[in-house]
Chain A
Amino acid sequence: MSKRIFTSLLVVLVICSAVFAGGQGETGPSNKVSIMFQGPDTEQAAIRDSARRFTDATSIEVELLFTPHDSYTEKLAGYISAKQLPDVIQLDAPNLSNLVWSGYIEEIAPHISDALVADMTLSNKAQCTYPIDGKLYAISQIDSTVLLYANKTYLEKVGARIPRSVDDAWSVEEFDAILAKLAALPEVTWPLDIMRSYGTTGEWATYGFSPALQSAGGDLIDRDNWEAGGAVNSAESIKAMEYFQKWAQKGWLVPSSGGDNQLYNADRAAAMAWCGHWLWAPASAALGGDLVVIPLPDFGRGTVTPNGSWIWSITSTSKNKDKAGQLIEFMLTDEKFLKDWAAIGAYPALKSFARLSPDYLDPDKMAIAFAQADYAVSRPPHPAYPTITVEFARAFDAILNGTDVKTALDKAAKAVDDDIEDNDGYPPFDR
């Protein structure tokens, strides 16, 4: 009897698997290209509209695979293990190396025009290059940068010099002295907002504050031998992080539950903000001419800004690589698409896009921000980046909360080097 049961179960299983397998089928080259993307409504709309214009112009269908930002990595990992990667994927620039290293994305230059490659800013090329072979694996219309936003009235009250160019940045000693003077002003509650409300243990910590390490002469990881020990816990890195600890302990930083608008809300309780280009739109709308934009302070070796945004790649498993390239080429040269991005204050990564973004050309507005595209330092293009960022962010949070700087950075260095060891040095990065 039990044999019969077993047989019937087996039959059910076979039928089930046949049905599921039939649903998948083989996907050969087709007149369709799929694209996976994320972002808020405005960005999604720009992508959807441009895809529609692409279909109208070429009669190639576009399958739009929107994926919410918060579960993007998990979804991508799902597509990979199901071997069903879309033709075009949007990815966060620091993850590029991990995906090229894993062999999931394709060199992009053969699939797009030379003119488009020539249109990329230096920073855009940097965020899309894989360091092992120095080739381009992605392209984007957008990028990002980090700056100081300051309330001009307060700066004038304390007699601070206002830097007017990237080379003219405050030295960190000068910046420290200005913070002290601002703290003494009765109308200023906090001299500086470093956007702790974004969560100081998330990506913002690494993105926003690893430039301080690099400006001091340290880094998250040594980019020649790919070891974190000796870089993230070097004397230079420690010196840079000690400034942040000092500012936190003096109570000069807006606390995490203070929100992200203390610079420009009605109280004007913060004098400066250390934030990405995206703060320009709301801050300038509220402060008008009272808002000045200044490069990040120089910790010893010149000011450094981070870069990186969501970039477009063609997957190596795609059966429609040419059509995928056509779609990317179409979007990035589609003037309406670029104007949609300009309208939401996106930071241009194409020279042609910059010409459509008046704020980024105006010396009284964000021209300094765009000039920084020539000075940007990408986050470490290494497959261990996911661990590097988690560990640095934890250390940064600990440092702001009073943990000994060297102890915190030593711990981060060890965790990163452990991960690299667990993966045999991520060959060929171990050379």
Chain B
Amino acid sequence: MSKNRQLSVRSAGSKSDGLLTGHDRLQELMMIFPALMLLFLFLMLPFLMSIELSFTNQRLVQGPVATKFIGLRNYVRILSDHDFWQALWNVVRFSLMVIPLQCGFALVMANFLNKLCVMKGFLRSLFFLPFITPMVIVTVIWQTIYQYPNGIMNSILEAVSFGTLGPVEWLGSELWAMPAIVLLSAWQAYGFQMIIYLGGLQNIPNEIYEAADIDGANGWAQFRFITWPSLLNTNVLILIITTIQALKLFTQVNILTKGGPNGTTNTLVHYIYESGFVGQKIGYSAASSLLLFLLILGIFLVQRLSLSRLENN
């Protein structure tokens, strides 16, 4: 124990000097070396390579025509491709629908579970279940739910509307295909946000609620003036994570619609996948993924900036 303390004191001291003794530095480097190596090999290197590839006509299976530098041609083609802009718009549409739905539902469920006294553990695992089920399996199940004309979703619609509505062709209509994917995505993934919210809720000291009770604040007022402001940091985290997840939408689309009907569910990642692995144009595909990277980076920076400004106020 004392040795430990000694170590931490020394490293804290040396850090403030901005210098480490040689032995410590070696030790630290050795410790982060494996992680750095892996990150470099499997993340940085491919990323740098894809920047290079994006300026070439590289194909998936290399042919006798040498790969050559084609300048900005890939970027020009992508930016003048209607499908790319449609995919971008679809991802934005998806995010705008899925983020409020998924996070809102997660918050409601977290509040419910937090107040629960009986069967706490059981219900928590139950509501967490969709998240630990692989997306592929969830998607295949929902495919049967959305079946036309006799799927469960259509039966429900018919029952609640007393037979006046439906059947709707959920996945085959330009209007409903995206909302259908939003619903299933939110259902599958809300568990993750729910757990984070639950953690956030449990960090709020009980005394504040007790004081609010004495002051006569009702449930809504407590939520509005205590819970919600206290969850600010949690919200920041959740917003960023959910946005990045939403921008990377792929699995559901690839299984359910392959981007159809008429491109209304095509997403950027599906666009990248299709040009790279089906169309076998790796250079083109690398250029599109760099654009996606820039998009995510941009959104992340905007979110960070605006949220830190919010925190400072």
How many Å lie between the Cα of A400 and that of B25 in the bound state?
65
Chain B residues with CB under 8 Å of A375's CB are none
Chain A residues with CB under 8 Å of B182's CB are none
Give the segment of A98-106, A167-175, A365-373 that binds chain B: A98-106
Query: Is there an interface contact between A397 and B62, defined as CB atoms closer than 8 Å?
Result: no
Known: A257-B147, A257-B148. A394 touches B263 (CB 8 A): yes
Query: Is there an interface contact between A257 and B172, defined as CB atoms closer than 8 Å?
Result: yes
How many Å lie between the Cα of A5 and that of B32 in the bound state?
13
Chain B residues with CB under 8 Å of A10's CB are none
Contact of A386 among B82, B147, B259, B280 (CB under 8 A): B280
Chain A residues with CB under 8 Å of B172's CB are 196, 255-257
Interface residues of A in 395-431 (CB under 8 A from B): 397-398, 400-403, 411, 418-419, 422-424, 426-427
Residue of A nearest to B261 (CB): A401
One digit per residue, 1 when the CB lies within 8 angstroms of any chain A CB and 0 when it does not, for chain B 17-35 equals 0000010011001000100
Which residue, of A394, A397, A422, has the highest number of chain B Cβ atoms within 10 A? A422
Query: Is there an interface contact between A74 and B277, defined as CB atoms closer than 8 Å?
Result: yes
How many Å lie between the Cα of A9 and that of B62 in the bound state?
34
For the complex formed, measure the closest distance between the CB of A356 and the CB atoms of chain B, giving whole angstroms.
35
Bin chain B's interface residue count. 35 or more
For the complex formed, measure the closest distance between the CB of A317 and the CB atoms of chain B, giving whole angstroms.
13
How many Å lie between the Cα of A262 and that of B148 in the bound state?
11
Q: How many residues from A make CB contacts under 8 Å with B? A: 47
Chain B residues with CB under 8 Å of A74's CB are 60, 277
Chain B residues with CB under 8 Å of A73's CB are 60-61, 277-278, 280
| A199 close to B (CB within 8 Å) | yes
Query: Is there an interface contact between A257 and B151, defined as CB atoms closer than 8 Å?
Result: yes
One digit per residue, 1 when the CB lies within 8 angstroms of any chain A CB and 0 when it does not, for chain B 130-149 equals 00000000000001001111
| A284 close to B (CB within 8 Å) | no
Chain B residues with CB under 8 Å of A112's CB are none
Known: A397-B262, A401-B174. A390 touches B146 (CB 8 A): no
Query: Is there an interface contact between B59 and A398, defined as CB atoms closer than 8 Å?
Result: no
How many Å lie between the Cα of A62 and that of B277 in the bound state?
29
| B13 close to A (CB within 8 Å) | no
| A121 close to B (CB within 8 Å) | no
Query: Is there an interface contact between A101 and B63, defined as CB atoms closer than 8 Å?
Result: yes
Known: A5-B29, A199-B258, A402-B262. A98 touches B63 (CB 8 A): yes
Contact of B65 among A4, A200, A257, A427 (CB under 8 A): A427
Query: Is there an interface contact between A390 and B279, defined as CB atoms closer than 8 Å?
Result: yes
Query: Is there an interface contact between B148 and A258, defined as CB atoms closer than 8 Å?
Result: yes
How many Å lie between the Cα of A403 and that of B261 in the bound state?
11
For the complex formed, measure the closest distance between the CB of B302 and the CB atoms of chain A, giving whole angstroms.
32
How many Å lie between the Cα of A345 and that of B29 in the bound state?
62
Chain B residues with CB under 8 Å of A77's CB are 60-61
| A208 close to B (CB within 8 Å) | no
| A11 close to B (CB within 8 Å) | no
Chain B residues with CB under 8 Å of A259's CB are 147
For the complex formed, measure the closest distance between the CB of B260 and the CB atoms of chain A, giving whole angstroms.
5
| A387 close to B (CB within 8 Å) | yes
One digit per residue, 1 when the CB lies within 8 angstroms of any chain A CB and 0 when it does not, for chain B 156-186 equals 0000000000000111101000000000000
Chain A residues with CB under 8 Å of B82's CB are 411
Interface residues of B in 255-288 (CB under 8 A from A): 257-263, 274-275, 277-281
Residue of A nearest to B276 (CB): A74
Query: Is there an interface contact between B65 and A424, defined as CB atoms closer than 8 Å?
Result: yes
| B124 close to A (CB within 8 Å) | no
| B73 close to A (CB within 8 Å) | yes
| B121 close to A (CB within 8 Å) | no
How many Å lie between the Cα of A201 and that of B177 in the bound state?
15
For the complex formed, measure the closest distance between the CB of A248 and the CB atoms of chain B, giving whole angstroms.
10
How many Å lie between the Cα of A73 and that of B60 in the bound state?
9
| A225 close to B (CB within 8 Å) | no
Contact of B77 among A398, A403, A418, A426 (CB under 8 A): A418
| A15 close to B (CB within 8 Å) | no
Interface residues of B in 63-93 (CB under 8 A from A): 63-65, 70, 73, 77, 82-83
Query: Is there an interface contact between A397 and B263, defined as CB atoms closer than 8 Å?
Result: yes
| A80 close to B (CB within 8 Å) | yes
Chain B residues with CB under 8 Å of A101's CB are 63-64
Chain A residues with CB under 8 Å of B29's CB are 5
| B54 close to A (CB within 8 Å) | no
Contact of B61 among A80, A202, A390, A411 (CB under 8 A): A80
Contact of B63 among A102, A255, A257 (CB under 8 A): A102
Contact of B279 among A76, A196, A387, A427 (CB under 8 A): A387
For the complex formed, measure the closest distance between the CB of A260 and the CB atoms of chain B, giving whole angstroms.
11
Query: Is there an interface contact between A199 and B260, defined as CB atoms closer than 8 Å?
Result: yes
How many Å lie between the Cα of A402 and that of B143 in the bound state?
24
| B57 close to A (CB within 8 Å) | yes
Chain A residues with CB under 8 Å of B169's CB are 255-258
A-B contact pairs, 22 of them (CB 8 A): A5-B26, A74-B277, A77-B60, A102-B62, A199-B257, A200-B260, A201-B259, A259-B147, A386-B60, A387-B281, A390-B274, A390-B278, A397-B259, A397-B263, A400-B261, A401-B260, A401-B262, A402-B262, A403-B262, A419-B279, A422-B70, A423-B63
Having A389-B278, A427-B64, one finds 5 other A-B pairs with CB under 8 Å, namely A201-B260, A390-B275, A423-B59, A423-B65, A426-B63
Q: Which residues of A come within 8 Å of B, CB atoms? A: 1, 4-5, 9, 73-74, 76-77, 80-81, 98-99, 101-104, 196, 199-202, 255-259, 383, 386-387, 389-391, 394, 397-398, 400-403, 411, 418-419, 422-424, 426-427
The 5 A-B pairs at the shortest CB distance, nearest first, are namely A401-B262, A257-B148, A1-B22, A386-B280, A102-B63
